[in-house]
């Protein structure tokens, strides 16, 4: 076991050394949409806490930038930031690089009228679905045939009420926020579907790949020694690495 840990620590130091030859090696620039309790504009949130614990003890300071989700991807592809927050694995195919480790997962749910049939992964393809543009749920949920994308989440309840869609697909937190705007939340039913791991998507550059490798090495250490558990407990979120 001692030899194993020695190898891992040696690999971490090797990655840190490789960063020294990259431009501005003391910072990792991460872009994220503002999500409550996850990536808040004031720098608080579970994801920011995780990334600080991953990078800063290795001498790499976190520099956060808050932009809409689709713009964060473009910033990474153009090399203007090093990574973006909240990607599903291989969600973007060009000019990005994914680490081996995820940092969290999304609880994916379906929101529909309480009078509608109960959706499952097996029958979901029989319904008319809607989700926010850019989330590409057709790639991660099986046999989807009827779906459309919307630009923003406002108006989702109206679409369901008027029969323009059968179910809205999104992460639990976002769906809960939508339900909180309803004067009659009992009109709707929330059904869990699956969990999708969440990743940092890095720029496919030597610098981005070096940062991704450092991320993987540090995550391996932090999961092994349990250092991430207090962060998930503090934010009252399920721990994804058991």
Report whether 90 contacts 201 (CB < 8 A). no
Calpha distance 138→70 (Å, rounded): 17
With H, G, I as helix, E, B as strand and everything else as coil, classify residue 203: strand
The answer to whether 104 and 48 have CB atoms below 8 angstroms apart is no
pTM of the model: 0.82
Domain edges within the chain: 2-104+197-234, 106-195
CB 49 within 8 A of CB 57: no
Per-residue pLDDT of the chain (242 residues; tens, 9 = 90+): 555 555 555 555 555 555 444 554 689 999 999 999 999 999 999 999 999 999 999 999 999 999 999 899 999 999 999 999 999 999 999 999 999 999 999 999 999 999 999 999 999 999 999 999 888 899 999 989 899 999 989 999 999 999 999 999 999 989 999 999 999 999 999 999 999 999 999 999 999 999 999 999 999 999 999 999 999 999 999 999 98
149-154 LR contacts (CB < 8 Å, sep 24+): 153/177, 153/178
- In sequence order, the 6+-apart residues with CB closer than 8 A to the CB of 141 are 108, 121, 124, 169, 193, 194
Task: Please tell me the predicted confidence (pLDDT) of residue 152.
Answer: 87
The domains spanning 2-104+197-234 and 106-195 adopt the same CATH topology: yes
Q: What is the CATH number of domain 106-195?
A: 3.40.190.10
Q: Tell me, what's the pLDDT at 22?
A: 52
- Within 13 Å, how many C-alpha atoms sit on residue 159's CB side? 21
Q: What is the CATH number that goes with domain 2-104+197-234?
A: 3.40.190.10
Helix (H, G, I), strand (E, B) or coil at 13: helix
> How far apart are the C-alpha atoms of 143 and 121, rounded to whole Å?
9
Q: pLDDT value at position 41? A: 96
Alpha carbon distance 236, 88 (integer Å): 22
Q: Closest by alpha carbon to 73, among 219, 201, 187, 166?
A: 201
The pair of three-digit structure tokens given for residue 210, joined into one six-digit string: 């070096």
Q: What is the C-alpha separation between 50 and 99, in angstroms, rounded?
A: 15
Q: What is the pLDDT of residue 135?
A: 84
């Amino acid at each position: 076991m001692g030899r194993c840990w020695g190898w891992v620590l040696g690999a971490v130091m090797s990655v840190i050394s490789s960063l020294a030859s990259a431009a501005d090696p003391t910072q990792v620039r991460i872009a994220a949409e503002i999500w409550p309790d996850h990536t808040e504009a004031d720098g608080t949130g579970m994801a920011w806490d995780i990334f600080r614990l991953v990078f800063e003890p290795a001498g790499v300071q976190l520099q956060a930038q808050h932009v809409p989700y689709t713009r964060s991807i473009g910033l990474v592809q153009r090399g203007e930031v090093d990574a973006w927050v909240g990607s599903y694995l291989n969600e973007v195919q060009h000019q990005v690089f994914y680490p081996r480790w995820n940092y969290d997962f999304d609880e994916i749910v379906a929101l529909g009228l309480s009078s509608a049939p109960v959706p499952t992964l097996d029958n979901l393809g029989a319904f008319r679905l809607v989700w926010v543009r850019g989330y590409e749920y057709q790639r991660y949920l099986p046999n989807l045939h009827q779906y459309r994308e919307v630009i923003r989440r406002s108006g989702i309840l109206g679409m369901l009420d008027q029969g323009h869609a059968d179910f809205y697909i999104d992460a639990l937190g976002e769906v809960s926020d939508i339900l909180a705007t309803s004067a009659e939340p009992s009109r709707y039913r929330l059904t869990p579907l699956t969990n999708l791991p969440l990743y940092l998507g890095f720029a496919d550059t030597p610098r981005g790949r070096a940062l991704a490798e450092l991320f993987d090495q540090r995550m391996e250490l932090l999961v092994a020694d349990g250092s991430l558990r207090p962060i998930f407990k503090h934010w009252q979120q399920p721990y994804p690495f058991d």
